[in-house]
Structures are given as structure tokens and as C-alpha cells.
Structure 1
Amino acid sequence: MNKTYKLSALWMMCLILLGCLSFSACDDGDEEDTNQYKGGISLNVFGPSPVARGGVLRFLGSGMDKIQSVSIPGCGEITDIEVISANEIRVTVPQTAEVGYVTLKTPTGEITTKTKITYTEPIGVETITPNPVKPGDVLTIKGEYLNLIKEVIFFEELPVGEADFIAHSRQEIQVKVPMEAKTGDVTLADASSDDSDALRNLIQVEGIVIILPSVEAPLDLTAKKPGDEIVVKGKDLDLVNTVKMPNGEEVEFAYDKSEGGEETITFILPENATDGAVVMIPASGVEVAIANIGMALPEKVVATPADGLRGGDVITLTGVNMELVTTITFPGMEEAVEPASKSATEVKVTMPAAAISGELLLNTASGTSVPVAITTLKPEFMSFANDAVSLGGDVTIQGKNLDLVAKVVYTGGAEVEVIPASATELTVEMPTMGTESGVLTLVMANGESVETGKLTINAPEFCYIPVLPGEETELKGGEIFEIGVANGDKLTGVQINSQNVQYIINGDKLYISIPQAAGKGTKVTLISSNGTIDYSIDFVPATEITTVIWTGVGDVGSWGGMSDLSWGGYDWSTVTAGTDLTIHFVEYETADYWQMRFGNGSWAALPGSGGDISLEAGAKSYTLTLTQEMIDELVNNGGLVMTGCNYIIGKITLTEHISLETAVWKGSLDMAAWSVNHEMKPNTMFVDAGLKAGMTLRLYFDVYDADSKVKLFDGHWGGLFDGAELVPDASGVIAISVDDDLATKLTTLIDWGYSFIVQGTGCTLTKVTIE
């Protein structure tokens, strides 16, 4: 196999200038049949010259990839052309080649070399022995003019230079076979690949076979176990560098050769050995199979008990090769569990509560698993205490293994979590929504379920709502809620979130005064003389309350005044900070400017109100947010006087903004420099406040360091937000949108810890709220 040598641009130029040394020049193109430039094809140099017959002849120029054939005297047209690039082609010189000019045929004509090609003394190879040959042994090459050879190149470009030849003469070369040598052709070169003159003759001779380590046949390791000692017999095993398992892992081995010449390698099967071929690898990297593994597995496995299982039961698994079991994967679970104990004949394991019926898997270190069928214990329905019950009444189920029930699902979709007190009887509350006549589904903690017989749910005798509002209906807090009811004559009271509210019953219509803060999932309770029923209804809370405190025609003229809200005209002590005071007005069309002042009873501008305010042309209203300082001024100094010029007041309103935030913690805790790990109490704070996804969690801080930062953790020191450092905003607040994951972490309590832990630096925590 000939090696490809790439020449640099500088070397290419040197070759052009010094072609007389290594190359022959082409014709100057005075005559048509010797023109060196044909249709964009240009020949610059060719060589080497002299060249060995059987050697490689190179042509350098441009457009060389378009050459169709090469003609050498004494030979026919050569079309077997090796295209190196657009700038170089190569051909092998036939043994019949004679001295003369070389012609290159192009699509547009012919190019003839200016100088004749000449030949070196013929390098010939007669024998190459031994063949096959073992790496490290001496290879002898005999022939003629071998003294010209500077390098022997083994298959896949593995060169041995002249300096490393063991013997070198005209008729013989002796060279030590490299340990990395592979079976294939051998190439002789009359110049080293490291020489600056890369135009060398490459003479390819017959291939040789490189001896590999071998075995008569790969061993069958079926049923072998980790830890077993494996002995492999073969030939030339001293060449082995590596023994590799089927999974690619290398293992230690020992080589031995007896006095009788028997060769062996010995290794131990590792714990994680898998099925497949074990190979040995010499320095050449060629893999030779020495064994096939069919790893031993647990067999004849019997589970006791195999059915009627519940979480916490101990299962005994007996069989053969049981010591190979590393873990057990139960059906319905992703994570495997460790055996409680194991021996060669027995494995014991405790069944997790989340496991379901199916095949548990006995896992081995080899990556193979053995399945064993198990069946869980199921609740058994026998009867209802009463097959027909009223809506909202309790349902009593009788049967077996009812203590396994974790949740009951009604026909209609309503779900009720239960804590059974008995294995034979289960009392379940009935929601007033999402319940219809039909079967109940008894759901176990592991997710498996069974169905009961049909339950008939009758309309209640107390006041109830037959048809609830659809999801598309928008109900607002602060308004009157109208809904149809049945048995309205039994109604004695209505509560919203456990607080009594006003209502009116008129025939089959109920009108309820809904508090302004009522929101999603508001509990509406209808109290009757013969029963009570609860509903969960979504409202949109009213976060703003606008009250008109004055209407009329108040012409302020040119710095006149509208003083109806001063000196007892309105009780300003009832106003809270943050309330918006809005003046609705009409501007004089004939005026060029308009001004407004919010004054106290003495007409002086309220502190912080902006003094004499310039109004924009076409404006219809102006809003001032009242601070506590402004309210104190109105209370203490005669109320409000509106003055200014060129506008008429028509209405004045107050808009109160209602915060729906619920404070779950208040205090004053200096975070210092990360020195405080505040485990917030009580650990049910978010559960008690009803935190759920979709809410906003806010932390309020007094910031005293510009580089203040905060870190948050769940109750078990799990870093929230990937442990990111949070920075309070300009108001000292960190606001966080609560998703399902965060809601679960802050409301899921185990046997220890708190629901929320805060760290920080440069700030003092004052409040935690949800909204």
C-alpha cells in the first residue's frame, strides 16, 4: 500500500525551481502537440526521474484531476490513475517501460514532457521469510539492490527505518517485526518518510501474515459465576497485552508457560461480567475471542408468599444461585431495593408499600434480571350499609381488607382521601360536587384499585343547589350571587368560608352577598334546619373598591375653591394609606393652561401632593395616591379644599386597594452574614394557610447592605431554585411564583424538619406572605 505524502506550498515551489534534481520539466508549449497549457490544465513537473520500474511516477501542476490517460514509451495508455488532488496525479510505472517522453492526454489535447523519463537500477525482491512471522521476530527480505532501501513499511503505515535494520546489504535486509504489526502488504521505500525529499520510490511486495495469540476454540463459560477462575490454553499467548470483558472492562490476567511448552493465561470473572465474548488483545490492537460468557443466573426461584401481599411483608425467595442477586425491582417502582439478606439458596426482601401486582425482577451484577410473579392483597367489596343515600351523607362500605384503601373516587369524579379504622368497614364522606349514582372506586396507596357495587345517591331533603354555575361563568367577589336552590324553605343560614353572610331566599332563588375578598375555591355553606351542605365555588376577588364621595358642579374659576369636603364635609379618618383620590373634571376650552391644587382646610397644598399641578390639555381626571402624612393633614387641618384655575369638578372618588396577601410569618430577624439558618415555625405554616400552585410567595426584608442576598431551602435542607442566591428588589421584596413542585415541597411534611428555611446576608427578614 502506497503512502500519500502532502507537500507544502513552499516545498512545491522548491520542486518547480529545482526540478532538474528530482523532477523533469515539461515542454514550453511552442508546438501544439507539446503545449503544456490545455484548457486550464498545466503540467509543471513530473518525477522522480530516474524512477524504478514498478515504482510510482508523480505529475504536479493544475487541473491534473482532468487527465484522461498517461503514455510512457514501451507501454500502452495508462488509465489506472491515482488522483491525489487537482494538483497531483500518480501512476505505477510498468515493467516494460522504456526511456522517452511521457504524454498526458487531456479533454482538449495532449501535453508532452520536455525531458525524457529514465529508470533506476531495478530493485527486486525474491523472498520474504518467515511468513507467517511473529511480532518481535526477525523478518528477512532477499533480492537485488536492496542497499537502496531506506525504510520498510508494514501494513497500515508502520515504518521501520534503516537505522533499525538488523542487517542491510545489496541482497538482504533483516528487520525486527514491530509488536504493533498487522497482517498485510509490506512496502519498501528508497527514501525515508522523514527525508526532506519526499519523492521516493515505493515498492510494494507480497503481504506477510503476522502471528496472533490463538486458542483452539473459545471456551464456553455458560453458568460461570463472578469470582470463578478462568484458565485459557493456547499459542503465542505471550503476545497478549489486554484481556477485555464483553462490557469493555479490562481485567488483570497472568501468563504462564510450562516446561513442556504449554501456554496459559488466567483471570477472575469480575462481579459485573455480562454475557458475550471475552477477547485478548496484542499490541496490534487486533481482538481475538478466547471465551463466550453465558453468566449464571438465579434459577428455580419460588416466592413465599407470592400472593396476598401488602407493603411491609417480607418475601422469601428460594432457588439456585441466589447469591448472585444484587437488588430487587418491584412492579410499579422505578428504584430497586436491597435484599434484607441473601445466601446461595435464599433471598429475603421487604415489600414496599408502593409495589403493585406483576413481576418483580431479581437483578444481577451482569445486568440480567430474572422475573418472579407476585400479587398484592386487594380490598374486597361486599356491600353498602345502605345502597341508597342522600347527597352529602356519609357512605358506609362493608368488606375485607378495607384498611388498604387510601382514596375513594365517586362516579362523577369527586375524590375523598380516607384513613381506614377497620379492615371490614369503611365510612366515607360524600362531597356535594362531582358525585353521581354509580360505582365507587377504592384506590390503594400503590395506585391499584377495585370497584364497588352501584350506589344510589338521592337528592337531599335540606336546602341544596341542584345545578352549580358552569366553569365559563365569571363570579365576582363584592357582588350579589344569584343561584337556584331546592328546599329553600329549610334554609336558616349561609356562610362564606365559615363566616355568616347576608342572604335572601325568594322561592327557588337564593341571593348571597359575597365578600369582596372571596376567591378561587371559596367554601359556600348552606345551613338548613335538617342538615348542612358545603360547595366549593370559584370567585374573582374584588381587589378595588371605588366610592363616590362627592358629585356636583364645582367651578374653581381662577383660584377659587371647592370646599364641600372640608371642615366636617367628609370623615377623612376612615381613609387608609394607599387609597387613590381621583378628581373628575372638565377643562375650560377657552383657557391656555390649567392648574390644580390639593389643599387642606386652609388651602395650603397637601405635603407630597405636588403643589400647583399643571394639567394636560384634554385631561378628564387626575389621581393622587394618599399617603398617611396626607391623610393626617386632612384629618388635623380641616379636610380637603380643591383649588386651581380653569376647570370644573364633576365628581370625586376614593378607590381602596384590597390586598389578598395572607401573612404566614411576621417578625424581625437579622440574617447577618450567612450566620443564621432560620427554620421557620410552625412547620405547618403553609399547610395552614392553604398554599397551592398559582399563588405568589413574598418575602419582605429591611435591606442594610447593597450586596444583600438570600438563599431558600425546603424543610429538609433541599436547596430551592438550584441553590441560587436571590436578591431583594428596590422595595426589599422577593416575589416567587408558586408552581406545583414548590407547593409540594413547602406543604409536604415528613417526620422531622420545617417547611421553610431562610439564609441570607445584609438584610433583616420582617414578613412572609402568600397571595
Structure 2
Amino acid sequence: MKRINKTLALMMTCLLVAFSSVFVACDDSDAPDTNQIKGGVSLNAAQLQVTRGGYMQFKGSGLDQIETIVFPGNVTVADIEVVDNYTIRCLVPEAAVPGKVKMIYGDKTIETGAIAFTEPIKFEGFSPANVKAGDTLTIKGTYLNYIDHVMFATGEAVAVTPTRYEIKVVVPVDASTGRVFLAMTVVEGTETLINQIAAKEELVVAKPTEIKLPDTKVKAGSTISITGSLLRLVKTVHFLNADGVNVAQADPTKDITSISVAVPANALSGEVVLGLHSGIVIPAGEIKLVEPTAAIADLKPSYGIDETVVISGTDLDLVTKAAFTGGEAAAVTLTEGKINLKVTAAVKSGVITLTLANGNTLSVAGFETTKPVATFPSNATPLDELSIVSTLGSRVKTVKFGDLEAPAIATDKGFKVKVPLDAQTAPITMIMDNGEIVAVDIFFTISAYTFCAVAEFAEETTTVGSLLKCTVVNGANLKDVKLNGNSTGYILNGNVLFVNVGRNTGTQTMTLVSVSGTEVPYEVKVVGAGLVETVLYDTPLEINGWGGVDLPVAIDVPLPANSKIRIRVAKANSDLQVIDGYWGMGPNWAITDDAKKNTIVFSSDALKAGYVDVDFSGFHDENGNAWWDGKIKFNADGVIVSSVSVITDYSPAKTIYDTPVTIGGWDKSAQIEASVFASATVGQVITVVTSGVASDAQGSLKTASDGWPAIASGTEYFDIKGDFTLPITADVLTKLKSTGLIVSGKNYTIEKVTLK
């Protein structure tokens, strides 16, 4: 049975077998009262809690006529003592058991209630003091017949059938040195408890001794023999770094002097311990494991991609993985007792690492990759493109000129590389695709260049509308400056160069072109700052008689983001029509419906402000597709256009909602009040900044009016891949100012909402 401990504090426990009153009335009345004693022979009360060898008392009338008293167990007592007129008593026999007592006089019998015993269980000791599993242990004491189990320091409890004074129990195989406990099962309501009485002294249980391991090196996977005494007690053998190995025992009760176990593949040299059936472990000594030896067979000076490296040696079957320097470890199998490894592009010169099942490693030296052999010229000028003849040219990824690195491009005969602008005379090295560095055995000289190049930029960034400023060398040889491949305006004042960076923000490519044809590119950063106006045309145009006047220049399209065309007006005697360059009929003069033509009309009252801003995003072709080629025609009667500019808003977007909301299955939303849009205008854009966008994510933009209808066509729900926007039209603005905006959907997170 499994042990359930409820250890009693005292070493000697008095067990109450029953819990009745000392005297119990024999009728429905309370405990004895001599005033209630009846006439004749009658029992009024009896002592029901008794001790063997002690007295049991009876109260009633006429009890002196009782001839014999019979205790349960059919034990008869005739020696009855009359105490007084109402009381008799007798000694409780040792053989009595719990049950009802019979009082006999003549041919009549009176029965008491069931008696119970108050008796002390005593644990006097055990013998012998030293045992081994399988021996019989004798336990002495009194009232031991109430004990149902014996517990040892370890292992399962052992069921016993004791006598009143003695218990004999066979020491189990899982017992160990320690205290011995006597246990009795007690049921209290629905709970079963184990009361225990502990011995004063420890019982000594023998363990295996004289243990010996092999004194020679052993190989992982082989079977070894362990000798010693009492090895039948061994359940498992534990090697360093490995799980315990179960020991096969035909009969654990019979002594054996040797056991055989297989050494686990992942075992390490070191201590071995034996796990006994008792759960304790004992040291068995140390073992040393065989380690493999390895070397590259028929070693070559170098190895190329797809060549095979053969490793030979001893005990290579212990190797599970192998890895070149720089390569990934791969599982290995032996071929005729050897390991064959294929060289890949990733591997580097260096040791080959062999890994055993136990995690130990073995290094194999001598491996070298085949390197490129290249012929470089003895000198060059910065930005020269060198055509290098080389073996393994495709494996050269970059060339370092001192500390400056330049990409290499493979050719049929080797590779090409451009000398960096700032290169100086220094050693040259080639960097292979596996990261190995190959020195070039040549003294390489860098000659001075004559083309124009930047010496220093004045600032890290240039603002749209400003000029980029830098100092240059060889400025006299400057022929042109390009921005993103197209010529741009510039001014060269001595060695100071000023460059027009255009209207686009972000990283732009500025290229200096010299008279020799050498082009030197630079990446420059262009940033915006608020509202920037760039004048495109500033010669006055007078439009009369509704005859139509073309803007003499075509505007570069598409316009930068957040841009519009600003038309400044000096005179406004009529409305002004702004039309595409084909009288509103789009490409091929195909739009014939006047209502659909590309025409925007500004009233004379609107022109009195001095300018109007035009959004051409609504211009289209005959099929309704967005289109505008940058040409403008004006039509009016008495209007003077003084200039045409591009207005770009580089100011940052205003955050109108900044509490992140994780949108699950249409269960949450961001609700933005109408007051937030009090100063919003037509043409601004609302942007929902997102994160964690799932592949099936959808967005939704609605008003807060009853039923949460879509704020515009197509915004009820739509697929999203990232941030999404809502352009503010006149209709959308009315709804925003009336009910606000609700952003919802499924399977993404709203990080913030901005307005610009």
C-alpha cells in the first residue's frame, strides 16, 4: 500500500479503539441513578470502555444473583466481586474481544452494550539490528495485533498479519537504512489516515559493496560488466550525461555478483552511480570512454566547391555530425569506415569539427579552400573600372583598397571592380563569397584624379526650396550636374557648388559630370519644411473673349505628394476655367460629354483672393481612368494670370488619435469625436497608421450616426495590407463635423490616426 503519513508525536501511542462513555445506561434513561434502580434482577448500567486485565463494573438490582459473566470470544468468568448493594465487578480476561457481554443467572441472560478496549500499543524493538533485503525482521511489543503495515525508510509499505506481541516481516528489496514505522489504518469519516509509531533506533539495511568497473577504456554502445556484492538491489546504472540504464533482474530476491549494461551513446567519461530499488544512489567509480582519432586522408593543398574531403581514423562510428569552418553541421554516415564530406560555397579554410553523440568534439586540421588568383595593374585612378583577369572570379564579391570596399562583378575572364573615389595607395585584398580574405601580392598605387568631385557637403540635409551647398575639387572640369539622371540648375563659385535639389523629399542622387565624361554620383537627403512654393511660370497671361490661352510650359507630372498647382491672378473680370490642354477632352480629344470634361471653374469672387489652388487628381481619360499630362489651358474674359507655381505641404501630419487599439473580429474600434474635425478642410487626408496586419485583415471607416453607416462609398469594409487613408471630400467633411469617425475592421492594430 502507499504510505499516507499522520505521524504521531509520541514514540509510544495509546490507541483508543472505541470512544464510548465509561458507563452506559441499559434503558432509555440517562447514566445510573440508584434512585431509579428497579426491583428483582436488573441491569441499569455497565462500563463499556474497558482494559484487558482491569475491572469491568455493572450497576443494577439483584446483581448478587449473577452466576457467570461471558465476554465476547466465549470467555467465561465466574469470579464476580459484589462491591455494594447495587454494584458488581470482574476482571476483563486477556482473551476478550470487542462485543456484547452476557450476564447469566439461572436460565436467564442479561446483555450489555458492546464493549471496547483502551489499550496502549507499545513498540519495544526489533531484531536483528542489521539486515539485508530478503531477511526476516522480528518486531516486539504489545497490542501489535492492531498494526496492519510496516514501513521502512524507503519503499512501499508492507502488509503484515501480526500477533498481539510480535510482527514478522520480510525486508523488501526497496528498503534502506533508517527508522522503522508501525502503521495502523484509521478511518475518520470519509478520510483514511495512517497512524504511525516509530522505532527509537535505526534499522541498518545492507547495500551493494566491493563494486568494480572495467579498468580499461570502454566504447559507447558496448556492454560492460559491473561486479560486486548484493547487486540484486541495483535497479539502474547512471553514466555521466546520460539517462539511467535499467538493469534486467530475473529475480531480485537472489544475490548476484555481476550485472551487464550497455554504455549509452551519449555517455561521457567520468563517475558512474548505481540506483537502488530503494531510490538511493551509491557511487560505483569512474570509467574512461574511447575517443575517436581522425585525419584527412590523402590531404590536398586545397579543395574547390563540390570536391570531397575524406576523413579516416579509428572509432569513427562514434561521430554523428561534421562541420567545416563556416558551414552547417550535417549528419554523417560511414563509407568503408571513413567519413566523406562535400565542399560547399559557404565553407572556409580551417578545422573540420566532428561531433560525437555525447556532445564531445574532435578537430581535424589541414583543410584549405581553393582561392582566386588575380592579376591587378600596378596603379589606377579613383573611379577607374578595372577588368581583372582571375581564376574563380565569380567567388570574388568585393575588393578592399585599404579600408575602402568596392563590389566586384564577375566576367568571363575574372571580374570588374571600380576604384573608390577616396581610395589611396594601400594593400589590396579580395573578399570571397564565403567571407575569406585573399591578399593580392602587388604594390598598388593610386594616381591623382582630374575630374570634379565633392570635397565636403555643407550640411547633411537640404531643404526643399533651398540650394544644396558643397565644396569641390577640380571644379574647372565640371561640365554638368544631374539630379536623379536629369540635368538640374547649379552655380559654381570658385570651389563652392550650389545645386537645385528639386521638389521631391527623400534620398536623391546627385551626379557631377566632368568634361572627361567621368560621372561621380552622390546620395543627398532632401527634407521638407512647411509649405514650399516653387514658381513654374511668371510671365503674365491675359485671357479675353473666351478664346482660350495655353500655359506655355508643361508641368512635370506626377506632382510630389501633398502638392497642388497655385494660380495667382492679377485681374478677375469673369470666371476662370482651368482645362486640360485639349479643351477638356483628354487624350485623343475623346471626351465629348460636356459634363464629363476635364474642366474646373473658379468664380470671379473666388479669384478676388489673389490665387486659387487647383487639384488635378480628378482629371481623367475617356475611360474614366486618372490622367493628366501636365498641360493647362485657361479660358476667361478679362482675367490676367500672373504666375503658376507648385505648392507642396511638407509639414508633418497632425495626430488626432494616439491610443493603440488591437482590432480582433470586428469587436473593437477607434471612435474619434466630431469636434476633432472642426478645422478640417476639403482636400486633407486622414491616415490610419497600423501594425500587426494579418493576411485576411480588413479596414472599415464609418460615421457615428445610427447604424454606423459607411462614411463614403467602399468604406464599409475593405482589404488592407498596411496603413490606409480617407481623402476628405465635401460630403465626407460634412459627416465628420456632424458625427465624427469610427475606424474598425478585423485582425490588425490601430497605432494612431493622423490628419494632413
TM range (shorter): 0.5 to 0.7
CA separation of 1:404/1:375 partners in 2, compared to 1, >3 Å: closer, same or farther?
farther
In 1: Cα distance, 2:388 partner to 2:232 partner = 78
In 2: Cα distance, 1:199 partner to 1:249 partner = 35
The aligned residue for residue 93 of structure 2 is none
Q: CA shift at 1:369, angstroms? A: 1.2
The aligned residue for residue 367 of structure 1 is 359
Please list the CA deviations of residues 48-87 of structure 1 after superposition, one character each: whole Å capped at 9, or x if unmatched: xx9xxxxxxxxxxxxxxxxxxxxxxxxxxxxxxxxxxxxx
The aligned residue for residue 141 of structure 1 is 139
The aligned residue for residue 433 of structure 1 is 421
In 2: Cα distance, 1:572 partner to 1:507 partner = 35
State the aligned residue count: 527
In 2: Cα distance, 1:518 partner to 1:146 partner = 99
Q: TM-score, normalised by structure 2?
A: 0.54
CA separation of 1:509/1:329 partners in 2, compared to 1, >3 Å: closer, same or farther?
same
The aligned residue for residue 405 of structure 2 is 414
Please give the residue correspondences for 1:339-350 in structure 2 after superposition, counting only pairs within 5 Å.
Answer: 339=332, 341-344=334-337, 346-350=338-342
Q: What residue identity is the alignment partner of 1:534?
A: V
Q: CA shift at 1:292, angstroms? A: 4.3
CA separation of 1:630/1:624 partners in 2, compared to 1, >3 Å: closer, same or farther?
farther
Contact 1:583 1:621 in 2 (8 A): yes
The aligned residue for residue 459 of structure 1 is 448
The aligned residue for residue 131 of structure 2 is 132
Q: TM-score, normalised by structure 1?
A: 0.53
The aligned residue for residue 66 of structure 1 is none
Q: What residue identity is the alignment partner of 1:520?
A: T
Match of 2:507 among 520, 525, 534: 520
CA separation of 1:311/1:474 partners in 2, compared to 1, >3 Å: closer, same or farther?
same
Q: What residue identity is the alignment partner of 2:137?
A: L
Q: CA shift at 1:249, angstroms? A: 2.6
Correspondence 1:298 to 2:292: yes
In 2: Cα distance, 1:283 partner to 1:150 partner = 23
RMSD between aligned alpha carbons? Answer: 5.9
In 2: Cα distance, 1:580 partner to 1:403 partner = 50
Q: CA shift at 1:224, angstroms? A: 2.8
Contact 1:518 1:540 in 2 (8 A): yes
In 2: Cα distance, 1:651 partner to 1:219 partner = 103
Please list the CA deviations of residues 404-450 of structure 1 after superposition, one character each: whole Å capped at 9, or x if unmatched: 6432112352322343756xxx6653344342232223222222224
Match of 2:167 among 173, 176, 189: 173
Q: CA shift at 1:638, angstroms? A: 8.0
CA separation of 1:412/1:19 partners in 2, compared to 1, >3 Å: closer, same or farther?
farther
CA separation of 1:6/1:120 partners in 2, compared to 1, >3 Å: closer, same or farther?
closer
State the secondary structure of the residue aligned to 1:354.
coil
CA separation of 1:542/1:139 partners in 2, compared to 1, >3 Å: closer, same or farther?
same
The aligned residue for residue 330 of structure 2 is 337
CA separation of 1:650/1:202 partners in 2, compared to 1, >3 Å: closer, same or farther?
farther
Please list the CA deviations of residues 134-182 of structure 1 after superposition, one character each: whole Å capped at 9, or x if unmatched: 1x6543212445346565332269655xxx313322x211234455433
The aligned residue for residue 62 of structure 1 is none
Q: CA shift at 1:536, angstroms? A: 2.4
In 2: Cα distance, 1:550 partner to 1:384 partner = 54
Q: What residue identity is the alignment partner of 2:618?
A: Q
The aligned residue for residue 248 of structure 2 is 254
Q: What residue identity is the alignment partner of 1:342?
A: T
Contact 2:564 2:615 in 1 (8 A): yes
In 1: Cα distance, 2:474 partner to 2:192 partner = 111
State the secondary structure of the residue aligned to 1:546.
strand
Contact 2:325 2:349 in 1 (8 A): yes
In 2: Cα distance, 1:216 partner to 1:445 partner = 62
Q: CA shift at 1:2, angstroms? A: 13
In 2: Cα distance, 1:128 partner to 1:340 partner = 61
CA separation of 1:206/1:510 partners in 2, compared to 1, >3 Å: closer, same or farther?
closer
Please give the residue correspondences for 1:89-488 in structure 2 after superposition, counting only pairs within 5 Å.
Answer: 123-129=122-128, 131-134=130-133, 138-147=136-145, 149=147, 152-155=150-153, 159-160=157-158, 164-169=159-164, 171-188=165-182, 192=186, 202-212=197-207, 214=208, 216-220=210-214, 223-251=217-245, 253-256=247-250, 262=256, 264-289=258-283, 292-299=286-293, 301-302=295-296, 304-305=298-299, 308-333=302-327, 335-339=328-332, 341-344=334-337, 346-377=338-369, 384-386=376-378, 388-395=379-386, 405-419=396-410, 428-452=416-440, 453-461=442-450, 463-469=451-457, 472-475=459-462, 480-488=467-475
- Percent identity between matched residues is 21
CA separation of 1:486/1:176 partners in 2, compared to 1, >3 Å: closer, same or farther?
same
Please give the residue correspondences for 1:656-695 in structure 2 after superposition, counting only pairs within 5 Å.
Answer: none
The aligned residue for residue 628 of structure 1 is 618
CA separation of 1:207/1:584 partners in 2, compared to 1, >3 Å: closer, same or farther?
farther
CA separation of 1:340/1:536 partners in 2, compared to 1, >3 Å: closer, same or farther?
farther
CA separation of 1:460/1:217 partners in 2, compared to 1, >3 Å: closer, same or farther?
same
State the secondary structure of the residue aligned to 1:323.
helix
CA separation of 1:122/1:654 partners in 2, compared to 1, >3 Å: closer, same or farther?
closer
In 1: Cα distance, 2:298 partner to 2:277 partner = 53
Q: What residue identity is the alignment partner of 2:144?
A: L
State the secondary structure of the residue aligned to 2:325.
coil
State the secondary structure of the residue aligned to 1:296.
coil
State the secondary structure of the residue aligned to 2:168.
strand
| Bigger Cα displacement from structure 2, 308-317 vs 236-245 | 236-245
Please give the residue correspondences for 1:571-720 in structure 2 after superposition, counting only pairs within 5 Å.
Answer: 580=564, 625=615, 627-628=617-618, 655=647
CA separation of 1:491/1:629 partners in 2, compared to 1, >3 Å: closer, same or farther?
closer
In 2: Cα distance, 1:438 partner to 1:225 partner = 56
State the secondary structure of the residue aligned to 2:240.
coil
In 2: Cα distance, 1:275 partner to 1:358 partner = 28
Contact 1:493 1:527 in 2 (8 A): yes
Correspondence 1:540 to 2:526: yes
CA separation of 1:627/1:488 partners in 2, compared to 1, >3 Å: closer, same or farther?
closer
Contact 1:153 1:186 in 2 (8 A): yes
Q: CA shift at 1:657, angstroms? A: 8.0
State the secondary structure of the residue aligned to 2:347.
coil
The aligned residue for residue 702 of structure 1 is none
Q: Which stretches in structure 1 are left out of the alignment for 5+ residues? A: 8-14, 22-49, 51-118, 552-561, 586-596, 643-648, 659-719, 738-760, 762-771
CA separation of 1:625/1:631 partners in 2, compared to 1, >3 Å: closer, same or farther?
farther
In 2: Cα distance, 1:518 partner to 1:266 partner = 80
| Bigger Cα displacement from structure 2, 237-246 vs 569-578 | 569-578
In 2: Cα distance, 1:313 partner to 1:631 partner = 63
Q: CA shift at 1:336, angstroms? A: 0.6
Contact 1:494 1:503 in 2 (8 A): yes
Contact 2:406 2:420 in 1 (8 A): no
